[in-house]
Structure 1
Amino acid sequence: MIKVSILYPGKAGSRFDVDYYLRVHMPMAARLLGSAVKAVSVEIGVSGAMPGQPAPFAAIVGFTCESPEAFTAAFLPVAGQLQGDIPNYTDIEPVIQVSEIREI
């Protein structure tokens, strides 16, 4: 199993509309990516390591899939729709990482 993580770095003066992201973008992403995605998690940044410190990331989303190929096959046909929606909720350029999930 792999996880595709999309991280939105927290930057002073940046915009991230959590309500739109959770209410509109993520349901659309789940619908468009379909059965290739086995699980979805969304984390909204609250703070850094110390109280009162800004969160390093505005949000982090994780899509769990069987393989990178499964995610790519689902994502490429709908990439334009998903990426085209980004300006509706943020001006932050996302960072993407594909990781292998290991059980401990």
Structure 2
Amino acid sequence: MPQLKIILTAHVRERAVSRGIDEEEIKRIVTNPIEEVFDKENFNYKCYGQAMDHYTKQTCYLMVVHSGKFNNSVTVITSMWIYPRRLKFYGFSKV
């Protein structure tokens, strides 16, 4: 199976820097999430995993919003640190 091509938009790159998120962590979570859901209202996908927050040096939950995995590529829209209770708000059930 071909490797998934992960495209990071300028927006996600800017937000990653300002939020202390490593781009490699974003890519890892997109390819191997704890859970992934489709957001019918915004017509995008959300996934999450655990990652190291470089500011606090603690493992936290990181949610990544993307366009969906089609033709072996995915465009990442944004990423953010998130509390477990907020994951449930976005429709995740494996929290």
- TM-score, structure 1 as length reference: 0.25
- TM-score, structure 2 as length reference: 0.27
The structure with the greater share of residues assigned to strand is 2
The structure with the greater share of residues assigned to helix is 1
| Larger RCO: 1 or 2 (CA < 8 Å, sep 6+) | 1
